[in-house]
Structure 1
Amino acid sequence: MSSNQQRAQLLRELGPFGAVLMGLGSILGTGVFVSVGLVVIQAGGWVLPATLAAAFLALCNALSSAQLAANHPTSGGTYAYGTRYLGPWPGFMAGWLFLLAKSFSAATAALGFAGYLAVVFEIEHPAFQTAVAVTVVVLVTALVVSGLKRSNFGNTLIVGFSVLVLACFAGYGFFFAPESAVSSWSIEGEEASLPVFLQATALMFVAYTGYGRIATLGEEVADPRRNIPRAILWTLAFSALLYGAIAWNLATVPREWLAANPAAPLESVAMRWESPLLAGLIALGAATAMIGVLLNLVLGLSRVLFAMGREGDMPRVFGQVTASRSPRAAILGMGAIVLAMVFIGNVGTTWSFSAFTVLGYYAVTNASALKLTSSERLYPRLFSWLGLVGCLGLAFWVEVRIWVMGLSLIGLGALWRLAMRR
């Protein structure tokens, strides 16, 4: 390690509770307020078994991530693990896929925030949503630049309010929704097929992957071997319970309710339940949750970009830290990239592309975990094998145009690394 790399280290100032909240802040936003509705629109009743299948696959990946992070607690997540256990090229591809996947996820969060505000103010013009999304990306990037402690405090408030709002939605759906607005759960017609189920599982899987933010912040977690695995598993367990409750409610309402505004499905359902108070609460909760997701994504993305810059796989300027040991250049760089993604302007497209790329990312995670020695391993190898096969198998069940574009961008990444190394 060069003297420059020794100086470019981050502070371990994140405790176990803060780590769990960072994971939840990444999950309880776009995943629950937007993606569950998107899956119901495309797959109907398959959302429930897909939620369970995605949770199991996420568990396999979480166990691989947890033991890798415990043994190698540094910034960069699977970029660092892949480089150490598989070699420079697999590591680079993991980092490249993460930057692609989560940049699109961050854009989805910003667009989801704008979508909920558009419903509140009854503004249908696309330019409004784009302008709002751009504004919130700029503001969140500025907050992340101000430091991890302030970011963590803001995230704590956001997560607490999000959980309260989701509990209100689930409780109302179970106990107070009008009988005329609720149908029985079923899988029938053209949607009752294995391909539809697999596509739904792929889309739901990406909704769970916020727990990986804990691993990408590994260099800033105190007592990482003890705190990182526990934080990842608690984050996944809590989010799975909430997803199940929300999925059940959305699976028993007419699909056209969700299709009317795919960027704000929970609020649309609350309005159909004739509960404007609940709809307003959901709109506020969704908006704050989207900001929380965006905040956590910019945090995680900037740490991966920082790690790649430090190793020379990205411009060296991104691998530098300020006097307060903040990766400011990497944060600002990721803010600019997310801004560019926002202009795609389509929630469904950004989410599908994120699903494809993040499945590839976690395939590298599981392959890296299989290289752990017996003394390093915390969980049976079977989970890593299941995670690897599941990720590779599901990656190609998204739309054909998405994985063709994804493979093209992977090829572009290979050319980028060759250019950087030259």
Structure 2
Amino acid sequence: MKHKLFLFVILLGFFACQDDDDTSFGIKMSQEGIRFKPVPGGAVMYYTLPSESDVFALNVRYSDFRGHEVLKVGSYGCDSLILDGFNQAQKGILARVSLVNRSNEESSPIEVTFDTEDSAPYAFFDQAEVTSFWNGFMMSYQTPDIVAGMVHVLYLGTNPLTQQLDTLLLKSFPINQGGDTLFFQLQQERANNVVIIRTEDYRGYRVRQKIWDNIEAYQTRKVNGNELEFIDVQGLSVESENDKVGVKYLFDGDTKGEQRRNANSMLSLYTFLAGPQAWGAPFILDMKEKVTPASIRIYGMLNMNIKFPSAVHGKWSNHVDGDTGDWWLGVYRDKLPSAITVYASNDKDGNDWVKIGNFYQHYNTSEEFRWSHRCTSKDFVIKDIEALEAADPAYCEVEFVPSQEKYRYLKLVVDEIFNFNQYGWTYNKSFYLTMHELEVYIKK
């Protein structure tokens, strides 16, 4: 009986082997047909498939940094695969490569090894810096050529729900190829801050974290309008008391358009307008003493569905040249700045102006992404005084990197204006520009 049982086991093994042989695929991948190039977060595997007609594809199996098995499939339609799933650079990672025929049968695998480089979420901290900034901090970073992953920026503050000290999230964003510089102004005022930066890969796994202690927040103050002198170098400001346009409205404290909302005449604008040929023209701000500049803000009037003057209304008082079509032509959006450069000096008549900051949005930026979209978009209309009082103002801000240098003069140049083209007609051909309110901030 024992002999019969032993014979049965041998026969069973024989037939099992025979079945395996029936489903096996005899062509093997050649080692010479494979090479690897380490890249951030993994490696690129270059391959050449055999020319046999039975070969349909190849499979590559390996374990990622968490030990999870990964399958990558290559075909004749390409000559490379990206083997990803790694963070810190590694060497000698084992992979098994097999061929597949049209019946989905696999050949016996061959073993290969490859190396990787640090992934973008891991390498992020190699060149990431957090430094002091106005009312908060500044973060800058550089990245490798291949980027993937997320960054979470947090700081130590008071949780509004528990009133306890907690890590509060400021912003989450994808890692930008080439790097970036970001500025964070904190609502909770502290002389020094603790900043926490975390990175994660696109599978949601945390990669690294770093903490920066005692990051000083430089406090700022707004310069009162009566402390500033606005120097219109080329005499481009449109001055009209009847139409309520002029330099004085740049510093009257109206950041949203309250005065125009309450005006009896649509021609009463309570704003600043410059032109013609105002693009690229210099406007100088005299701060009366040497100070450390922090930023400037340029505001626009919120959209209250009140039309701007156009030629159909005829000539209005104190027009620049007596014509009826050189000011607004019924359009506001094509006179708002999209690109601004600011320079500083201690000699307004000299040639030693230093560029200290700029703001830029492309002049053809879609309206919903413009800083001024709430000034011009049909999707945002102020319908009553209550809504106007509750609304936040719309402004762009040119922020300056903190410096030990002090200056008396700032030179403001509007380089570009947002485009408005309708029915093939460009309205602002005389290159007028408008700024509803102008604010200057300096180190406190």
Larger helix percent: 1
Q: Which has the higher contact order (CA 8 A, sep 6+)?
A: 1
TM-score (norm 2): 0.19
Larger strand percent: 2
TM-score (norm 1): 0.19
Decide which structure has the larger Cα Rg and report it.
2
